[in-house]
Amino acid sequence: MPILSAVSTIKAKTLVNPISVLARSFASVAGEPKPLHAHYPVVPGSLTAHLQLRTGETFTGGSFGASSSAIGETVFTTSLVGYPESMTDPSYLGQILVFTQPLIGNYGVPRRSRDQYGLLKHFESEKIQCKGIVVSDYATKYSHWNAVESLSEWCEREGIPAITGVDTRALVHILRGQGSTLGSLSVGAQPLKADKIEWSDPNQNNLVAEASTDAVRVFNPDGDVHVALIDCGVKYNIIRSLCDQGARVSLVPWNHNLAANLSSYDGIFISNGPGSPSHCHETISQLQQAFSSYQRPIFGICMGNQLMGMAAGLNAYKLRFGNRGHNQPAVDLTNGKCVITSQNHGYALDDSQMPKGWSRYYVNANDGSNEGIRHLEKPFRSVQFHPEAKGGPLDTAYLFAEFVDSVRQAKLANVPATLTESADRQAATA
């Protein structure tokens, strides 16, 4: 077991230097070195791994993944369970994922079984999406009735580096203090020389384009309503949740020509996705055209919320360290009720001034950031959190039922898809 040792004395209300908040550490640190280099006693015979932040801090521990290196944005999740779902969530594309839950790997990795829609039951995509993982204490022995391999074996097989023995409390203090930071995860006796690391910010790339499908795919073809699901990096449980409500789902690329096919869809859904929404100009343009003429329901989740907001005229900004976990409280501004939600995002909408015709829908009870928007007249709305919440909680799963029910009601009422279609009907009956 790692030995606790005090590394500094915290001065009251002093948050200028994130290193000053390291009240105790699993690592042995002599004095107050700058930059910080925290060492964990690696088990003899095991490989050594290093997490190096661009700001100079280094954490050395044991390797339990692939013997490779990775560079990405270092972020943390407060989720207590669901590491297979988190690691396969496309929203973590380009990121090194830090788990604040101390013990990781104790229930292994489940089998790759599929449901009636052809989707993996226990994973949110076909592969691990994050660049690497960081944990405090990796469980070398796992136990679960559905497990077929260890977390270490899974990471090795998919080429994902992983480090254990990191004082994740100290690391999270740093990330909260200075914000999400680029990191390098490598395996070797010594850390990489700082001037040899080729830093690359994944948020400078269009990660949505990388995560999205490149062809239309149909799920639950016998569904009674047809929903276009814009794939910005969709989680499988979003597809499943729509199908479970009886919808036929057409998964379309992020830059799909939506405007040319509006009449084909009974409803439109925009998924979650990785990175900055500022790269998705084509999606935003398509949504703007849809807002001006589409009359049937539109709903967005996470990245979908940001893209709908930007299409409506709002700006998006980068959060200091994001909201990632299964315990984020969001208040429904239509009724004052608070729900506990699953979240995974590093950007948010600036809703300080809402565009005409739009209103705030949900707000984060912790930091006051936007958690959703809705149109005051048209059936358009979105949420920043994840109602599908694979890994839990399920407080807001009802939003899928509400959306598909509204799509079904619009179809039964024979609501025209567009204003043009509405005008054509009126002309035909004149």
256 part of the active site: no
Which residue type, as a one-letter code, is found at position 390?
A: K
Q: List, in sequence order, every beta strand (DSSP E) within 240-314.
A: 247-252, 267-270, 298-301
| Residues facing residue 162 across a β-bridge | 133
Pairing, β 298-301 against β 267-270: parallel
Q: In whole angstroms, what is the distance from residue 17 CA to residue 347 CA?
A: 24
386 part of the active site: yes
Q: In whole angstroms, what is the distance from residue 322 CA to residue 212 CA?
A: 22
232 part of the active site: no
Backbone angles phi, psi at 241, to 5 degrees: -65, -40
CB-CB contact of 127 with 106 (8 Å): no
CB-CB contact of 115 with 166 (8 Å): no
Q: In whole angstroms, what is the distance from residue 396 CA to residue 386 CA?
A: 8
| Residue among 239, 308, 233, 323 at smallest CA distance from 274 | 233
Which residue type, as a one-letter code, is found at position 179?
A: G
Backbone angles phi, psi at 37, to 5 degrees: -135, 105
Q: Which of 302, 326, 345, 371 is catalytic?
A: 302
CB-CB contact of 26 with 40 (8 Å): yes
Q: In whole angstroms, what is the distance from residue 167 CA to residue 190 CA?
A: 19
Pairing, β 380-383 against β 298-301: parallel
Q: Is the dihedral of CA 16, 20, 26, 31 positive or negative?
A: positive
Write out the two tokens for 426. 């009126």
CB-CB contact of 349 with 370 (8 Å): yes
> How many other β-carbons are positioned within 10 Å of the β-carbon of residue 42?
16
Q: Which residues contact 310 (CB under 8 A, 6 or more apart)?
A: 277, 284, 316, 349
Q: In whole angstroms, what is the distance from residue 416 CA to residue 423 CA?
A: 9
> How many other β-carbons are positioned within 10 Å of the β-carbon of residue 163?
28
Virtual CA dihedral for 27, 28, 32, 35, nearest 10 degrees?
Answer: -50
CB-CB contact of 104 with 137 (8 Å): yes
* Residue numbers annotated as active site: 302, 386, 388
